[in-house]
Amino acid sequence: MRVLPLLAALAAMSLLAGGAAGGDGLVWRTSKEGGFSVKLPADWRYRDATYPSDHSTEYWTDPGNRHSFLKVQVSACAGCVQPTSCILRGTGCGPAPEQVVPATTLSTKKLDPWRLRFVARTAGTSYLDRGLVAIVHRGKEIVGFALVESFLPASKVQLADAILASYRG
């Protein structure tokens, strides 16, 4: 009977597919607008909220909980992520991802000169905003930034961390 070899082949393909997803149940999703990739649960639904401008806004939402989602805004505003002194006087120029964190930020952690993680409270949701600011740059030249915000229940902090850690811009 050929059923057993077929089952073995299907099982092997299933293992390979799981490996491609990273073994953590997340799959790579690529932006249609902003030139980035991020790992998300496979069943999350995509929505493009971009309108003609110098930035894009994209969402992925958990179909089982519309309050759980990822929002990514990519902007071409280089001055937005530089110190005010650079913009006003041309001094102290360099990456300053803290310039675009939400005003209601509770904590920040600088990962490197170009990236900063934050936790904020956001009006309209009971979930904390666990986010990342990633400055888009070519060498030392700043060309914009991405603001990545995950809104998940406290029980899913590890998922939020995995999503944010996977961001590739």
pLDDT digits (tens, 9 = 90+) for 61-114: 999 999 999 999 999 999 999 999 998 998 999 999 999 999 999 999 999 999
Instruction: Parse the chain into domains and list their residue ranges.
Output: 24-166
Q: Which CATH class is domain 24-166?
A: alpha beta
- What is the Cα–Cα distance from 145 to 40, expressed in whole angstroms? 21
Q: What is the pLDDT of residues 131-162, one digit of tens each?
A: 999 999 999 999 999 999 999 999 999 999 99
User: DSSP letter string over 46-98?
Assistant: EEE---SSSEEEEEEEETTEEEEEEEEEEE--SGGGS-HHHHHHS-S-S--GG
Write down the pLDDT at residue 22: 52
pTM metric for this prediction: 0.83
